[in-house]
Amino acid sequence: MRLSHKIISSFILVITVLSIVNIFSVIYAINHSQEEKLKGEEVLFAQDLADRFVRDIVEDKAETLTDTLFKDKKLREEMIEYILVFDKNGYLLSNTYLEAIPKQLLKLNNKFSRKENFRLQKIVNRKLFVYDIAVPVREGIEQVGAIHIGFKGIYILQTIKEALAPALVGVFFIIVIAVLFGLFMSETIVNPISKLKDAVAKIGAGSLETRVVIKSADEIGALAGSFNKMASRLEETTALMVQAGKFEAIGKLASGVAHEVKNPLGIILQGVNYLEGVIPPENKDASEVFQLMKDNIVRADNIVRMLLDFSRVDELYMQPEDVSILMDNSLLLVQQIARLGNIEIVKEYQAQVPKIMADKGRLEQVFINLFTNAFHAMPGGGRLTLRSHLCRFADSKYRGDKTKNDYFFPDEEVVAVEVEDTGQGISGENLKKVFEPFFTTKGPGKGTGLGLSVTSNIIKLHGGIVEITSQLAKGTKISLWFKTVKSE
Amino acid sequence: MKKKVLVVDDETAFLRILKLNLEGTGNYEVLTLPGAEDILAQVRAFKPDIILLDIIMSGTKGLDVCEMLNKDPAGCRIPIIILSALDKAADKLQAFKIGAVDYLVKPMGKEELIAKIEKALRPSC
The pLDDT of residue A247 is 65
Residue A362, SS3?
A: helix
Q: Where does residue A150 fall: left (phi above 0), alpha (psi -120 to 50 degrees), or beta otherwise?
A: beta
Q: Strands, E, within A232-379: which ranges?
A: 318-321, 343-349, 356-359
pLDDT over 90 for what percent of chain B?
A: 48
Q: Which residues of A382-399 are buried (b: 16+ CB within 10 A; e: fewer)?
A: bebbbbbbeeebeebebe
Under an 8 A CB cutoff, do B17 and A259 touch? no
Q: Which of A210, A204, A245 is nearest to A224 (CA)?
A: A210
Residue A488 is predicted with a pLDDT of 43
Chain B residues closer than 8 Å to A258 by CB? 85-86
Torsion of Cα atoms, A331 then A336 then A342 then A348, to 10°: 20
pLDDT of residue A477: 95
CB-based contacts of B45: which residues, under 8 Å, 6+ apart?
none
Q: How wide is the angle at C-alpha A458 spanned by C-alphas A457 and A463, nearest 5°?
A: 95
Q: What burial letters (b/e) apply to A403-418, b meaning 16+ CB within 10 Å? A: eeeebbeeebbbbbbb
Is A315 within 8 Å of chain B by CB?
Answer: yes
Q: Closest partner residue to B85 among A263, A273, A277, by Cβ?
A: A263
Contacts of A315 in chain B (CB under 8 A): 88-90
The residues with which A420 forms a beta bridge, in sequence order, are A385, A477
The interface pTM score, or ipTM, of the predicted complex is 0.85
Mean pLDDT of chain B: 87
| pLDDT for A311 | 55
Residues of A in contact with B83 (CB under 8 A): 266
Residue B60's pLDDT is what? 67
- How many C-beta neighbours within 10 Å does residue A166 have? 10
Which pTM does this prediction carry? 0.47
Would you call B21 and A273 a contact, using CB atoms and an 8 Å cutoff?
yes
Q: Do A265 and B18 touch (CB under 8 A)?
A: no
pLDDT on residue A122:
87
CA distance A190 to A193: 5
What pLDDT, on the 0 to 100 scale, is given for residue A394?
Answer: 85
- Interatomic CA distance for residues A66 and A102, integer angstroms: 17
Q: Under DSSP, is residue A356 helix (H, G, I), strand (E, B) or coil?
A: strand
Q: Which of residues 45-84 of B touch A (CB under 8 A)?
A: 56, 83
Nearest to A175 by CA among A404, A15, A362, A303: A15
A 240-259 → B contacts, CB under 8 A: 258-259
| CB spacing of A268 vs B107 below 8 angstroms | yes
Write out chain A's pLDDT in tens, 488 residues: 677 777 778 878 888 888 888 888 888 888 888 888 888 888 888 888 888 888 888 888 888 888 888 888 888 888 888 998 888 888 888 888 888 888 888 888 888 888 888 988 888 888 888 889 999 988 888 888 899 999 888 887 887 788 778 878 888 888 888 788 878 877 777 788 888 888 889 888 888 888 888 887 788 888 888 888 888 888 877 877 776 676 667 666 777 777 788 889 999 999 999 999 899 989 999 999 999 999 999 888 888 877 776 656 556 788 999 999 999 999 988 888 888 899 999 999 998 899 999 998 889 889 998 998 999 899 999 999 999 999 988 888 888 777 777 778 888 889 999 999 999 999 888 888 888 877 877 766 566 777 888 888 888 888 899 999 999 989 999 999 998 986 44
Q: What average pLDDT does this structure show over B8-14?
A: 90
* DSSP sequence for A244-281: HHHHHHHHHHHHHHHHHHHHHHHHHHHHHHHHHHHS-T
